[in-house]
Structure 1
Amino acid sequence: MGSAWQWGDPRVRRRLRHPRENRILVACGAVTLLAVVGAVSRAVSGDPEEPLLLLSIPALVYFVRGQLYARQRVNGVRITEDQFPEAHRMVAEAAAAFNMRRVPEAYVVLGNGVLNAFASGHGMRRYVAVNSDLFEVGGRLADPDALRFVIGHEVGHIAAGHTSFWRHFCVSVAQVIPGVGSTLGRAQEYTADNHAYAYCPEGMYGMRALAAGKYLYRDVDFHAVAARAATDTGFFVLLVNLLSSHPVNTFRFAALADRSRPGRVL
């Protein structure tokens, strides 16, 4: 696990961030800026209806984030020192490793068979939510390193600034354009994976659960999946990756297996 003073070094922070992330963020921000400027221009010229709808995006982003946060609070199980103390310790350790001033809140939410986790925020609050089926991997299925990697990944999103209101607003218009917002999403996922790897490298093998499920993943050869990134290619593979908010599994596994190069965004 990386120490806080290492994370405080700007060189370490740059190394953990995918090299294309900031450039793609600027491009997405430019799309939103052009849309907003166009909306203002149309409103001034006397066509207010559609432009005013576009200019209401900040309020919409605020409302959606607030509603999502409330849903976790009222329906999820809060991870605390008394409720799931081992997981709470993982969240606190990850926050300390990334030199964060606050430990984010964390929740277990009903998964209904879906293996997923996410990080978000509302106002000054930041939080992590882990679906119950994925949480079981670190608990009942006794693979704490896998859960530690997942938590490191989600806390990494927060540490890298991916959950801020202004970032979400900045990319809001780009998100509705196929292949544009999703490309930023893939770069951010690689950044979060880099944080998780720095925090708990041995936990990367738990990512096999995303490919084979929580019961079969131990039988999966991680490096065999990673090697297919060089052989399972072609137009439709690239298309599936382009339209996905997360890198396809073969690309993602390959990036974790070979730390000498960044993950493939395109």
Structure 2
Amino acid sequence: MEYRVHQKETFYFTLKILFTVVVVFFAVSALKNLTALGAEAAGPTAAVFVFYAVFIWLFIWFQKVLLIGHLKGNGVEITASQFPEAHEAYRKIAEGLQIRKIPPLFILQEGGALNAFAVRFSGRNYIAVYSEIFSMYESAPEIVQFVLAHELGHVKRNHLVKRFWTLPSAFVPFLEAAYSRSCEHTCDRIGAAFCGEKSIQGLILLAAGKDIFSKVKVESYIESAKTNNTAAVKFAQLFMSHPYIPLRIRDLQNQ
């Protein structure tokens, strides 16, 4: 399946690699300089550095343990015997992306929220789709498939692995969010490669909800977003992991 990687994804990932190397280099250099001053000076500082590094790693690990526990403990896994049509469509998307180890797919009920996510834990990928979206499979299968293809796109592009190994670059303001937004654009394009025009409806669904999304006039929505694109809106975007939905729609329209 052919798709175009968003032009900024490679650029921001290159910056993340660069800053990761820089951060690690200065950290190692600082420890070496402290060591040269003697054990009395180096010991406590190195201990503090190691403590915080381990604390951050354990915090991230613990958060993932809770998430995977919630996913496996409460979620409904989509299999060949549980929602077989959706499972077959999911399998075909994964095969189309040449993903050899297809991630387990779960449905989660989250109080009517519209979301889906990919997570990696202990060397294995998992994908979850919220029930409010999956409940549309019979009436609008292409929209649900767009969401599933988008999440599989994160697996295909190794976004979760790349973010883990470039974690030190998160110290650079706004870089992590910018990289995340470019990844979202790429995954939208992957979803569109499978679902075509229905992909835009999938994004409108996230903006308006499943009860009224079909009534939203796309062009009016985009024009209104342009009018509302004030300095405050642009500034807020710097902190966000996902692009504004009108920007995501415009990107797909320009493909």
Q: What TM-score do the two structures reach when normalised by structure 1?
A: 0.82
Q: Deviations over 1:201-237 (max 9, x none)?
A: 1321122111111211111112322344544333222
RMSD of Structure 2 on Structure 1 (CA): 2.2
Higher mean displacement: 213-222 or 172-181:
172-181
- Say which SS state the counterpart of residue 118 (structure 1) adopts: strand
Equivalent in the alignment of 1:149? 146
**Structure 1 unaligned spans of 5+:** 3-11, 260-266
Q: 1:147·1:203 contact (CA, 8 Å) conserved in 2?
A: no
Name the CA distance, whole Å, in 2 between partners of 1:144 and 1:19.
29
Matching of residues 38-117 of structure 1 within 5 Å: 38-44=26-32, 45=34, 46=42, 47-56=45-54, 57=56, 61-117=60-116
Name the CA distance, whole Å, in 2 between partners of 1:63 and 1:168.
17
Name the CA distance, whole Å, in 1 between partners of 2:220 and 2:171.
35
The Cα shift of 1:114 comes to 1.3
Name the CA distance, whole Å, in 2 between partners of 1:110 and 1:43.
48
When Rg is computed on C-alpha atoms for both structures, the one with the higher figure is 2
The Cα shift of 1:39 comes to 2.9
The Cα shift of 1:176 comes to 5.7
Name the CA distance, whole Å, in 2 between partners of 1:41 and 1:60.
26
Q: 2:24·2:168 contact (CA, 8 Å) conserved in 1?
A: no
The Cα shift of 1:124 comes to 3.5
Q: Kindly indicate which of the two structures has a greater share of residues assigned to helix.
A: 2
Name the CA distance, whole Å, in 2 between partners of 1:223 and 1:189.
21
Q: 1:28·1:170 contact (CA, 8 Å) conserved in 2?
A: no
**Structure 2 unaligned spans of 5+:** 35-41
- The one-letter code of the counterpart of 2:25 is V
- The one-letter code of the counterpart of 2:192 is Y
Structure 2 CA distance for partners of 1:180 and 1:53, relative to 1, 3 Å: farther
Runs of 4+ deviating beyond 6 Å:
none
Number of residue equivalences: 243
Q: 1:18·1:190 contact (CA, 8 Å) conserved in 2?
A: yes
Name the CA distance, whole Å, in 2 between partners of 1:41 and 1:20.
31
Q: What TM-score do the two structures reach when normalised by structure 2?
A: 0.85
Q: 1:69·1:121 contact (CA, 8 Å) conserved in 2?
A: no
- The one-letter code of the counterpart of 1:100 is I
Name the CA distance, whole Å, in 2 between partners of 1:122 and 1:178.
26
1:200 and 2:201 equivalent? no
Higher mean displacement: 88-97 or 167-176:
167-176
- Say which SS state the counterpart of residue 120 (structure 1) adopts: strand
1:233 and 2:229 equivalent? yes
Name the CA distance, whole Å, in 2 between partners of 1:124 and 1:16.
27
- The one-letter code of the counterpart of 2:238 is L
- The one-letter code of the counterpart of 1:16 is R
The Cα shift of 1:113 comes to 2.0
Higher mean displacement: 190-199 or 232-241:
232-241
1:189 to 181, 184, 190: 184
Equivalent in the alignment of 2:25? 37
Equivalent in the alignment of 1:263? none
Name the CA distance, whole Å, in 2 between partners of 1:101 and 1:235.
44
- Say which SS state the counterpart of residue 112 (structure 1) adopts: coil
- Say which SS state the counterpart of residue 20 (structure 1) adopts: helix
The Cα shift of 1:256 comes to 1.7
Q: Deviations over 1:165-206 (max 9, x none)?
A: xx2323323446542210000000001001000011132112
Structure 2 CA distance for partners of 1:54 and 1:171, relative to 1, 3 Å: farther
Percent of aligned pairs sharing the same letter:
28
The Cα shift of 1:84 comes to 1.7
Higher mean displacement: 147-156 or 36-45:
36-45
Equivalent in the alignment of 1:5? none
- The one-letter code of the counterpart of 2:235 is L
